[in-house]
Structure 1
Amino acid sequence: MVRYRERVWPSVWFFVAGALVIPAVILVFTPINRTVGAMIAIALYVLVVAALVASSPVVEVSDRILRVGSARMPLAVTGDVTAYTTRADARRAAGPGLDARAWLCLRGWAGTSARVDVADPHDPVPYWLFSTRHPERLRDAIVAGRAEPRAE
Structure 2
Amino acid sequence: MQHTSAPYEERLTAPRSWWFACLLVGVAMALTLLPFGTLPLLGGLVGGTAVAAVVTSSYGSVRIRVVGDSLVAGEARIPLSALGGAHVLDPEEARAWRSYKADPRAFMLLRAYVPTALRVEVVDPEDPTPYLYLSTREPERLAAALKAVRTA
Superposition TM-score, scaled by structure 1 size:
0.91
- Aligned partner of 1:117 among 100, 118, 121: 121
Distance 1:25 1:53 in 2: 19
Distance 1:129 1:91 in 2: 11
**Are 2:59 and 1:71 equivalent residues in the alignment?**
no
Q: Which runs of 5+ in 2 are unaligned?
A: none
Higher RCO, 1 or 2 (CA under 8 Å, sep at least 6)?
1
Structure 1 residue 72: Cα displacement: 0.7
Q: Which runs of 5+ in 1 are unaligned?
A: none
Distance 2:9 2:38 in 1: 44
Aligned length: 147
Percent same amino acid at aligned positions?
Answer: 30
Structure 1 residue runs of 4+, over 6 Å off?
Answer: none
Structure 1 residue 35: Cα displacement: 2.0
Structure 1 residue 41: Cα displacement: 2.1
What one-letter code is carried by the residue in structure 2 that aligns with 1:81? A
- Aligned partner of 1:60 among 57, 65, 87: 65
Distance 2:120 2:81 in 1: 12
Structure 1 residue 113: Cα displacement: 1.2
Distance 1:116 1:49 in 2: 32
Distance 1:99 1:23 in 2: 40
Distance 1:37 1:89 in 2: 46
**Are 2:96 and 1:88 equivalent residues in the alignment?**
no
Structure 1 residue 17: Cα displacement: 1.6
Distance 2:19 2:12 in 1: 14
Distance 1:23 1:55 in 2: 21
Q: Retained in 2: the 8 A contact 1:22–1:38?
A: no
Q: Retained in 2: the 8 A contact 1:111–1:133?
A: yes
Structure 1 residue 76: Cα displacement: 1.4
Structure 1 residue 77: Cα displacement: 1.5
- Aligned partner of 2:135 among 131, 137, 141: 131
